[in-house]
Amino acid sequence: MTALTIVMLLVLPRVAAPHFEQMFRELGGEMPALTRFVLSFWGAPVLSIIPLGCMSTALFFRRSAPIGERRILLVVAFGLTVVGSAIYLLGLYLPIFTIADQIQ
């Protein structure tokens, strides 16, 4: 799940950003701030650095830390990945909602 999220965070902005920007220019609107953040160069690293840090810490201390602490770190990493993915998807869907509002 985390690897898929990382790939999605790194590849999708490079593919989707030009299409979103062109669509909004044609409609005369401006992209929502969350969408601009998600599609920016810094969107993916900001949303993925904390889950990656938790996973790296759990893997680095796999011999010395008790298994309970490592599990907590991995559960936190998974939870943050899910939250980061939700923020990312919301940022990608906001333009669609905005365009729908402009059409009505």
Instruction: State pLDDT tens for residues 12-69.
Output: 777 777 777 787 777 767 788 888 888 777 777 777 787 878 777 777 777 777 878 7
Whole-model pTM above 0.85?
A: no
Distances (CA, A) of 20 to 13, 30, 64, 68, 69: 10, 10, 48, 44, 42
Ranges assigned E (strand) in the chain: none
Could you give the CA distance from residue 90 to residue 83 in angstroms, rounded to a whole number?
11
Exposure string (b/e) for 56-91, b if CB count within 10 Å is 16 or more?
A: ebbeeeeeeeeeeebeebbebbeebbeebbebbeeb
